[in-house]
Amino acid sequence: MTTSHAPFAPLRQAECHVEDLRALLGAQADPSLTHAEGIEQQVPVYSASTLRAAIATDEGRESVEGELAAVLADGPGIFVMTGALEHEVIDRVSAAFEEIIAAERATGGEVGDHFATGGVNDRVWNALEKLAVDHPEDFVDYYANDLIALASRAWLGPGYQVTSQVNVVNPGGVGQTVHRDYHLGFTTPEVAERYPRHVHALSPALTLQGAVAHCDMPVETGPTLYLPYSQKYSHGYLAYWLEDFQEYFAGHHVQLPLTKGDAVFFNPALFHAAGTNTTSDVRRMANLLQVSSAFGRAMEATDRRRIITAIYPTLLARAAAGLDVSAAVAASAEGYAFPTNLDLDQPVDGMSPPPQADIVRQALDEGSPPEDLQTALAGHTARRTS
């Protein structure tokens, strides 16, 4: 008997047709929501006061979290919380971010960015840790926020981890290209095609994307562009690179103005892109939140650099004898670029710096002696240390 494995067949960029996306989006209707104040441009909008009243009981909290998760998964894929953070706290943290930006500008150095030209705008990588170390009271007052926690729990459950990157789009700053986000959104189409279909579906469940507005963001300042419901397109991680999909996004996105203290959260598979700041005097500051699932971890702590050091002479000898050792490299070296220190390990030549496994592969290709690999690995480890 022959069994069909079509549901698990690999996804291919050649299968991406903008007509399929258009048909999918055209079949969507605004969801019926219990706790939202309304829906603007297909985006559910929740007020902080209404949410806080609703989550005062366990039953209410479960109802709100279920609704938010449904919006992210099967609904528009995005929601806004108005008035999520107090202005006084926002202003203190904004001032702290400006101090960090000024200090980092003074040091100079190469600057990379994701989906935009490096150095045009101001980025603070690992803003979470820098704020905590330099301004602990401001950090606690900011991240004690119950609505950031509510959104994070709704999508990821307990045990999540928060990271943040500050993005300041300066006057005249050009917007990003349309994209999806972490994890598969940070891979090339060639790499994404190598991941099974079910991983394309799993990737969005591992991360919640968010942004807190640190200033008023009328449309002319370039708040983020979104394509509601696009997270439901199965081939999206392959499609957003294609010109016809980029053109479709340009003609059909929505763009919501935000007020200082508002927070927006969205499914990382939603097609989106930061907008262009057409003003001459507004530095558009947002704290970009990336909240990660507790489950994106291995069970055991493993010193992979130690493993590579031990086996590299054998890898080198086997490779010289004609044996394909690529699987042994995959089993031993870290094959993923993240987490890393993006201040030192800049995404200059792509969306991510090279992982440890690439260092090993290059050494094998070049026949480098063990001591040269050790030097390369030491540099790689130093760049990844917070």
**pLDDT digits 0-9 by tens, 5-33:** 667 889 999 999 999 999 999 999 999 99
Q: Which residue's structure tokens are 């997270």? A: 231
Written as six digits, the tokens of 225 are 């562009």
Same structural domain for residues 148 and 182?
A: yes
Same structural domain for residues 228 and 323?
A: no
Same structural domain for residues 256 and 331?
A: no
> Would residue 176 count as lying in a domain?
yes
Whether 339 contacts 363, CB under 8 Å: no
- What value does the mean pLDDT take over residues 121-143? 90
**CA angle (196, 199, 202) in 5-degree steps:** 160
Greater model confidence, 37 or 106: 37
Same structural domain for residues 259 and 343?
A: no
First to last CA, the chain: 55
User: Domain range spanning residue 318?
Assistant: 304-384
Same structural domain for residues 261 and 309?
A: no
> Would residue 5 count as lying in a domain?
no
Task: Report how far residue 268's alpha carbon sits from residue 230's, in angstroms, rounded to the nearest whole number.
Answer: 10
286 dihedral zone (left: phi>0; alpha: psi -120 to 50; beta): beta
Res. 349 pLDDT band, cuts 50 70 90 = low
> Would residue 235 count as lying in a domain?
yes
Res. 265 pLDDT band, cuts 50 70 90 = very high
Q: What is the pLDDT of residues 290-304, one digit of tens each?
A: 999 988 877 787 888
Whether 322 contacts 239, CB under 8 Å: no
**CA angle (36, 41, 43) in 5-degree steps:** 40
Same structural domain for residues 228 and 271?
A: yes
Greater model confidence, 109 or 321: 321
Question: Is it the case that residue 344 has pLDDT exceeding 80?
Answer: no
Beta partners for 286?
Answer: 167, 213
Q: For the chain, give the mean pLDDT.
A: 91
CATH number at residue 181: 2.60.120.620
User: What is the reported pTM?
Assistant: 0.85
Written as six digits, the tokens of 13 are 């960029």
Same structural domain for residues 284 and 319?
A: no
Which of 83-87, 274-278, 337-341, 349-353 shows the lowest per-residue confidence on average (mean pLDDT)? 349-353
Number of domains in the chain: 2
> Would residue 10 count as lying in a domain?
no
Task: Report how far residue 298's alpha carbon sits from residue 208's, in angstroms, rounded to the nearest whole number.
Answer: 20
Task: Report how far residue 205's alpha carbon sits from residue 233's, in angstroms, rounded to the nearest whole number.
Answer: 15
Same structural domain for residues 173 and 255?
A: yes
Question: Is it the case that residue 1 has pLDDT exceeding 80?
Answer: no
DSSP annotation of 9: P
Task: Report how far residue 169's alpha carbon sits from residue 220's, in angstroms, rounded to the nearest whole number.
Answer: 12
